[in-house]
Amino acid sequence: MSYLFTSESVSEGHPDKVADQISDALVDNFLAFDENSKVACETLVTTGQVVLAGEVKSKTYLDVQKIARDVINKIGYTKGEYMFDGNSCGVLSAIHEQSQDINQGVDRESKEQQGAGDQGMMFGYATNETENFMPLALDLSHLILVELAELRRENKDITYLRPDSKSQVTIEYTDDNVPFRIKDIVVSTQHDDFMENDEEMLAKIKSDIISILIPRVIAKVPTEIKALFNDHIVYHVNPTGKFVIGGPHGDTGLTGRKIIVDTYGGKGAHGGGAFSGKDPSKVDRSAAYATRHIAKNLVAAGVADEILIQVSYAIGVVEPMGIYVNTNGSANVDLADGEIAEIVSTIFDMRPASIESRLKLRQPMYAETAAYGHMGRKNETVNKSFKNVDGTEISVDVELFTWEKLDYLDKVKEAFNL
């Protein structure tokens, strides 16, 4: 029997994502000037106010207020009428030194014996239903908002957009788990109050979303996904009415509140730990990336059509508690899921230090992860510049989204005789 599955995304201007981006900008700046920094930064944003809190152990000192303001301005909160803008908002820092009780379980004389920065379980997932091995509903939800942000910055075809927005896509699947059609698309976008008549204004916004935004989205997807768009899609555009009050003025934002948007849109599973604001010694982040790397390479190699990987840790302990594999009955090898897990443990070293090294996680690579998902993104090298409070400036080439590389295909195929 066919079934429906829905995923959502939120824009870079969503208050929770504003918080995530500030937290990850702090991580990047600490790592840029001291790659061994230990960082756990949380951010709260609300009307005219930013609060930074957390624990840091680092050799560098940052102007955290300037970093926060730069992020806010880059997102697009630059006008006083938004009741939250980078130039005028207050920024309060309550960042302090990392607890030595935590640090003693992580730092060791031998880097290879580095313990996990926390306990918990982390999940990675991959499916062959899209080219980037991500669930389709989430992939489309992200793409809708990426294009909406581009339209906002171009300020040409649509001139009234504000930074805060959300999207949601519902896909109908066949009983063979194949995407069949797009049933519903939801887009809620903050906007200027540009017409006196609210009904006319909302009709204009809906018309622009359907006639301008959606064709741009369709142009970016592969041919087989284009076929899922049809004249019967139900569009819900700003379904509650006008959306002028938004961003941190309309809703307080906190780091780490969009963990499903950050990962797989509800497909697979999530261990509960947020990513943003954390350096890679925190396995909530690094092991989630590592399990995505494993799942993607296994699916791409043909081990299964979809794979969920779980790994778990105890704080301060080097080796993981165990690795779990669930192929949901889609395995293409004559092995039980437990047997697949045993082979996986021989291919991928899941000690925290090994993950950091394998995926190059001590780079200042995290600001780019903090909006539009941490998974399914493009692996590329970019140049990034950082300026410290003492005037020191550095420019560094950074390889982004290393966990998306299909660099273990040969090892996986050899191990599974594929």
Does 251 appear as a known binding residue?
A: yes
**Is there a binding annotation on residue 9?**
no
Q: How far apart are CA 237 and CA 193, in angstroms?
A: 16
**Tokens 């005028």 appear where?**
88
Q: Is 257 annotated as a binding residue?
A: yes
Question: Annotation-wise, does 42 bind a ligand?
Answer: yes
Q: Tokens 């989430």 — which residue? A: 138
Q: Where are the alpha helices (DSSP H) in 46-162?
A: 64-75, 100-103, 136-154
57 among the known binding-site residues?
no
- 108 annotated among ligand-binding-site residues: no
Give the Cβ contact number of residue 1 at 10 Å. Answer: 5
Give burial (CB, 10 Å; 0-12/13-18/19+) of 321: middle
Q: Is 69 annotated as a binding residue?
A: no
164 assigned binding-site residue: yes
Q: Token pair of 296, please?
A: 């993607």
70 is in an annotated binding site: no
Check whether 258 is labelled as a binding-site residue.
yes
Determine whether the annotation assigns residue 390 to a binding site: no
Question: 66-71: long-range contacts at Cβ-Cβ below 8 A with a sequence spacing of 24 or more?
Answer: 67/22, 67/25, 67/26, 67/29, 68/22, 68/25, 68/26, 68/43, 70/25, 71/18, 71/21, 71/22, 71/25, 71/367
Task: Report d(CA 77, CA 267) in Å as an integer.
Answer: 32
27 vs 279: CA distance, rounded Å: 6
Backbone angles phi, psi at 93, to 5 degrees: -105, 125
CA–CA distance, 95 with 76 (Å, rounded to integer):
26
Question: Which residues are known binding-site members?
Answer: 14, 16, 42, 55, 98, 164-166, 242-243, 251, 257-258, 274, 278, 282
Question: Which residues are known binding-site members for ATP?
Answer: 14, 164-166, 242-243, 251, 257-258, 274, 278
Question: Which residues are known binding-site members for Mg(2+)?
Answer: 16
Question: Which residues are known binding-site members for K(+)?
Answer: 42
Question: Which residues are known binding-site members for L-methionine?
Answer: 55, 98, 251, 282
